[in-house]
Amino acid sequence: MTTPPIDPDFCVTTIAGTGSYLPERILTNADLQHMVDTSDEWITTRTGIKERRIAAEGQSTSDMAAEAARRAMESANVTADDLDLIIVATVSPDMFFPATACLVQDKIGARNAIAFDISAACSGFLFAMQVARHFINTGNRRTVLVIGAEKLSSLVNWDDRNTCVLFGDGAGAAVLKRIDNGGDQPGRVVSTVMGTDGSLAHLLRVPGGGAACPITPDNADQRLNTIHMEGRETFKHAVTRMCHASEEALAKAGLKASDVTLLIPHQANHRIISAIGERLGVPAERTFVNLDRYGNTSAATIPIALDEARRSGRLKRGDIVLLVAFGGGFTWASSVIAW
Ligand code: ACO
């Protein structure tokens, strides 16, 4: 069993519990065949996705986030009163303001917490975990709820076959806790690296609907308030950046890819996931995939996968878990967790 050293720059922070929520409605590839010119065969071979979940009428990002949060609090054995910080990572907030995190705070009754959102697209959950870790490190906060939640069905152009087959809705959450005695605990965050490259923002974005390009009656038919993506370019950068970030996070933890018991990559495309596994040298049986069932839920993919891995018994004491993500911005991040 490899026990990575405790980072002298950080106090010990652990993932004390996880939770996730997926809406009930399932949209299959067969359903999509009736909506756009596509096929189950094309979607499966190009992406690995078979079905995705779609939020119910009236169900918002904060509703899904609150449900995932309740499940994470239960698993961490903490109450809403114990929380002193809530961070929601999302690119599909309920509204521009207030922050979705404030809406979640109200829904779960976390009266002692402060709450804010961060926007880092598919890397959002790992960015939020690292922000939480810094708050915990200063001694300012002790028990932090970190959530990745998305209602991407509200940002998808359902007439665009290039993008509408890729995305889904859902939420995942984790409770992070400060451990004062410096002792080793399951779920210890060992190392994290993050990066961004704004010069490539144009390759993956929602160009309209914000202050730079408000939606008006004149431009409404251009669907500028939906996801626009250069798929091939995004694919290439995703593989390169996720491999480098993984290697950096492992090096920072004093570990090698062969030490990784479970790789939990952002769930965007099975070809991206396979390429990362091959380049790093982590075999498929040590890679977690639920992309086939949920599609790409952006900031929610990693916490949902982490929660499913934990609940299904795939995480055991002594395991080394490698989390890695890439998304619009571009943004990327990787974390090593010692379970
Ligand atoms: N059904 C059938 N045909 C399709 C569909 C579809 N749903 N979508 C595109 N096509 C067609 C295209 O029109 C094109 O046809 P043409 O050759 O006649 O022009 C053909 O399929 C090939 O299109 P490409 O875009 O070259 O297909 P590619 O093999 O690159 O796969 C995909 C596209 C799946 C989007 C891939 O590029 C990809 O996964 N990129 C990564 C993007 C991603 O995951 N983004 C999410 C956010 S970032 C992240 O999470 C990592």
The CATH number for 282's domain is 3.40.47.10
133 and 259 inside one domain: no
As given in the structure block, the two tokens for residue 252 are 């920072």
Q: Residue 292: enclosing H or E segment and its boundaries? A: helix 291-294
Residue 189 DSSP code: E
**Would you tell me the crossing angle of helices 124-137 and 301-311 to the nearest 10 degrees?**
80
Query: How many other CB atoms are found less than 10 A from the CB of residue 181?
Result: 7
Tell me, what's the pLDDT at 182?
Answer: 64
Q: How many CA atoms lie within 13 A of 151 on its CB side?
A: 19
Total number of domains constituting the chain: 2
Q: How many CA atoms lie within 13 A of 189 on its CB side?
A: 32
pLDDT < 70 regions, the chain: 1-2, 8-9, 182-183
Nearest alpha carbon to residue 78 among 132, 14, 124? 14
Nearest alpha carbon to residue 100 among 41, 43, 171? 171
Answer yes or no: 134 catalytic. no
The reply to whether ligand 1 has any atom less than 6 angstroms from the CB of 193 is no
Of the three residues 145, 167, 182, the one that is the final residue of a domain is: 182
Tell me, what's the pLDDT at 203?
Answer: 97
196 and 178 inside one domain: no
194 and 165 inside one domain: no
44 and 177 inside one domain: yes
Tell me, what's the pLDDT at 183?
Answer: 67
Q: Give the position, in ligand 1's atom list, of the atom nearest the Cα of 32.
A: 7
Nearest alpha carbon to residue 51 among 22, 23, 27? 27
Tell me, what's the pLDDT at 138?
Answer: 86
| CA 314 – ligand 1 centroid, Å | 32
Pairing of strands 228-229, 85-89: unpaired
Q: Which residue carries 């995305």 as its tokens?
A: 167
178 and 194 inside one domain: no
Distance CA 209, CA 191 (A): 36
User: Which position among 102, 122, 164, 243 bears the catalytic label?
Assistant: 122
Answer yes or no: 296 catalytic. yes
The reply to whether ligand 1 has any atom less than 6 angstroms from the CB of 121 is no
User: Which position among 29, 225, 269, 296 bears the catalytic label?
Assistant: 296
Residue 1, in any domain of the structure: no
Q: What is the pTM of this model?
A: 0.96
Q: Which domain holds residue 25?
A: 12-182
Distance CA 242, CA 247 (A): 9
131 and 204 inside one domain: no
Strand pairing partners for 294?
Answer: none
Query: pLDDT of 222-249, one tens digit each?
Result: 999 999 999 999 999 999 999 999 999 9
131 and 210 inside one domain: no
Tell me, what's the pLDDT at 25?
Answer: 98
Answer yes or no: 122 catalytic. yes
Distance CA 304, CA 147 (A): 10
Tell me, what's the pLDDT at 291?
Answer: 98
As given in the structure block, the two tokens for residue 236 are 């290439």
172 and 199 inside one domain: no
68 and 206 inside one domain: no
Of the three residues 182, 209, 226, the one that is the final residue of a domain is: 182
Strand segments, DSSP code E, in 29-66 are: 51-54
160 and 19 inside one domain: yes
